[in-house]
């Protein structure tokens, strides 16, 4: 029912807390009224609880702050009116102080000034009416209770005004600053991605400067490596989360790009089986380098007939996670060596993981790592 607390706006978080605490408080007051055989007080409290619940449901569906605040204020007015015409005092009237406090923290400064003043005028008129109509009213004719109630009401609205001038203004400045920082961070990722793609394009142009097949292969490999890193920045630029990247989204885009660049996608069948998991940019770059090396090696050397299957799995494994890469090719023909293998080993070390290779019925790599380390 509730979304993640850290994603809530401070006003929304306060409202949920208020509704829960006020609902529990008035529910307890209703039970006490029943036990103390005060049915009228119980009905007033029950009515206030019912209206509050309806207000909460309306807010949860429509997210209208102003309407919610005004509904709470009028609910408080009705409760005060009920206590006046009942011609008796009950501690339940203290709950009416919580409602204006909730409203004062939600309304804007201008709305608070207008509606708060209107509420106080109505409150004074109700008390004057009760004072005249009920000469023996235990609340309205008790100077101590009346003075305490008005002092607390004044404090509630003063606190609300102070909140808007201090806390809310600071929050708004902080929120604006965070949006600017997020925008700048997105722009940085966008520019890094563009710059890396420029470097990749320059490498592509370098192929035309040489007729050597070996040089062409080296340029293509390094171009793919740079593009795999650029893709991380591209995803972060397009994402709302600027810290973490969805592993499945990134690997899906990366593998699709590698297949389109290095092979006919109709000949190589790729299957992904990945749990929902996010990693930071540093870890994702290492994963991109690893998958890029695995796939380009498979496409170039594992399938002599240019047809095969590649399976990439990310799964929870006891207290760790396991990344599995496997193909059904001819397996490793000789000893592991070369720049690509060294790059894989370095990346695995950066992830603080362990690498296991199984050269049977194709080639299978298993990388075991802890998510906390990445």
CB burial of residue 43 (10 Å; 0-12, 13-18, 19+): middle
The confidence score (pLDDT) of residue 324 equals 92
Neighbours of 129 (CB within 10 A): 14
Dump the DSSP string for 89-151.
Answer: --GGGGGGGHHHHHHHHHS-HHHHHHHHHHHHHHHHHHHHHHHHH-TT-TTTT-HHHHHHHHH
Average pLDDT over every residue of 164-173:
73
State how far the alpha carbon of 57 is from the alpha carbons of 52, 76, 130, 191, 330, in Å. Answer: 9, 18, 33, 45, 63
- Output the average pLDDT for the chain: 79
Handedness of CA 85, 88, 91, 94 (dihedral sign): positive
pLDDT tens figures, 78-133 = 777 877 787 766 666 766 777 677 777 777 777 877 887 888 888 888 888 888 98
pLDDT tens figures, 304-356 = 887 889 999 998 877 788 999 999 888 877 666 677 888 888 999 988 899 99
pLDDT tens figures, 238-283 = 777 767 888 888 888 888 888 887 766 568 888 999 888 888 888 8
pLDDT at 140 over 60: yes
Fold of 267-374: Heat Shock Protein 90 (3.30.565)
d(CA 12, CA 17): 9
Domain boundaries along the sequence of the chain: 5-141, 267-374
pLDDT tens figures, 281-307 = 888 888 988 998 898 888 888 888 878
Q: What is the DSSP code (8-state) at residue 168?
A: I
Q: What are phi and psi of 87, to 5 degrees?
A: 60, 40
Q: Are 351 and 367 in contact (CB under 8 A)?
A: yes
pLDDT tens figures, 209-236 = 767 777 777 777 777 788 888 888 787 7
Confidence of residue 1 (pLDDT cuts 50, 70, 90): very low
The confidence score (pLDDT) of residue 5 equals 56
Q: What residues are paired with 313 via a beta bridge?
A: 273, 324
């Amino acid at each position: 029912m509730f979304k993640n607390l850290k994603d809530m706006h401070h006003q929304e978080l306060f409202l949920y807390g208020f509704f829960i605490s006020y609902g529990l408080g008035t529910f307890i007051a209703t039970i006490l009224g029943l036990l103390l055989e005060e049915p009228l007080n119980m009905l007033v409290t029950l009515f206030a609880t019912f209206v509050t619940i309806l207000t909460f449901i309306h807010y949860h569906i429509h997210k209208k702050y102003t309407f919610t605040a005004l509904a709470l204020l009028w609910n408080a007015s009705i409760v005060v009116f009920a206590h006046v015409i009942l011609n008796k005092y009950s501690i339940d009237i203290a709950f009416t102080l919580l409602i204006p406090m909730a409203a004062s923290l939600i309304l804007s400064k201008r709305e608070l000034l207008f509606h708060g003043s209107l509420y106080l005028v109505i409150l004074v008129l109700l008390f004057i009416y009760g004072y005249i109509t009920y000469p023996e009213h235990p609340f309205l004719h008790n100077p101590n209770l009346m003075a305490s109630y008005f002092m607390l009401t004044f404090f509630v609205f003063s606190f609300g005004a102070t909140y808007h001038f201090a806390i809310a203004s600071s929050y708004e400045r902080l929120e604006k600053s965070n949006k600017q920082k997020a925008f700048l961070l997105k722009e940085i990722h966008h520019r890094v991605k563009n710059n890396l793609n420029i470097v990749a394009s320059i490498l592509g142009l370098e192929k035309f400067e040489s007729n050597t097949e070996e040089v062409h292969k080296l340029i293509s490999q390094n171009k793919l490596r740079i593009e795999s890193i650029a893709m991380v920045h591209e995803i972060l630029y397009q994402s709302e989360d600027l810290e973490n990247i969805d592993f499945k989204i990134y690997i899906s885009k990366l593998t699709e790009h590698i297949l389109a660049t290095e092979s006919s996608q109709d000949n190589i069948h790729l299957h992904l089986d990945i749990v929902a998991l996010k990693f930071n940019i540093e870890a994702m770059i290492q994963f991109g380098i690893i998958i890029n090396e695995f796939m380009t090696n498979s496409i170039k050397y594992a399938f002599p007939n240019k047809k095969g299957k590649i399976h990439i799995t990310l799964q929870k494994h006891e207290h760790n996670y396991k990344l599995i890469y496997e193909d059904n090719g001819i397996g490793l023909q000789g000893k592991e060596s070369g720049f690509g293998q060294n790059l894989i080993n370095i990346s695995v070390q950066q992830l603080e993981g362990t690498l296991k290779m199984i050269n049977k019925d194709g080639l299978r790599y298993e990388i075991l790592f802890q998510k906390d380390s990445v």
